[in-house]
Amino acid sequence: MRKTLLSTLCCLLAALGVKAQAPALERVEPMSWWVGMSNPNLQLVVHGNNIAARSVSLSYPGVKLKAVHKVENSNYLFVDLQVFSSAIPGTFPIKFKKAGEKDLSYNYTLNKRDKSAGKAQGVTSKDLIYLIMPDRFSNGDATNDSFDNLRERGIHRDSMFSRHGGDLQGIMNHLDYLKNLGVTAIWLTPEIENDEPHASYHGYAVTDYYKIDPRYGTNDLYKKFVEKCHSLGLKVIKDLVHNHAGTEGYLIQDIPMKSWVHQWPTYTKSNFRDAAVMDPHASPMDRKLMQDGWFDHRMADLNQNNVYVQNYLTQNHIWWVEYAGIDGFRLDTYPYNEPVYMAKWAKDVKAEFPKLSIFGETLVWSAANQAFFTQGNTVNRGFDTQLPGITDGVLKDAIYEAINGSDGWTDGVGRLYSVVAQDFLYQDATRNTIFMDNHDMSRLLSVVGEDVIKYKSAMAMLLTMRGVPQMYYGDEILMKNLSNPDGLVREDFPGGWAGDKDNKFTAEGRSKKENDAYNYVSKLANYRKITTALQTGKLMQFVPEKGIYVYFRYDAQKTVMIMFNSSDKEQETATARYFERIGDAKKARNVLTDEVIGLDKVTIPGKTTLVLELIPGVTH
Catalytic residues, by residue number, are: 332, 361
Please, what is the Cα angle at 142 between 140 and 146, to 5 degrees?
125
Can you tell me whether residue 222 is helix, strand or coil?
Answer: helix
Closest CA to 467 of 374, 386, 404, 401: 374
DSSP state of 421: H
Class of residue 388 by CB neighbours under 10 A (exposed 0-12, middle 13-18, buried 19+): buried
Q: Which residues pair with 294 in a beta bridge?
A: 269
Angstrom distance (rounded) from CA 200 to CA 391 = 23
Burial 67-84 (b: 16+ CB within 10 A, else e): ebeebebebbbbbebebe
Residue 559, CB half-sphere, CA atoms under 13 Å: how many?
24
Within 10 A of 425 (CB to CB), how many other CB atoms are there?
17
* E strand residue ranges, 217-313: 235-240, 244-246, 299-301
DSSP helix/strand/coil, 563: strand
> 18 with 1: CB under 8 angstroms?
yes
d(CA 408, CA 404): 12
Query: What is the distance between the alpha carbons of residues 129 and 554, in angstroms, rounded to a whole number?
Result: 22
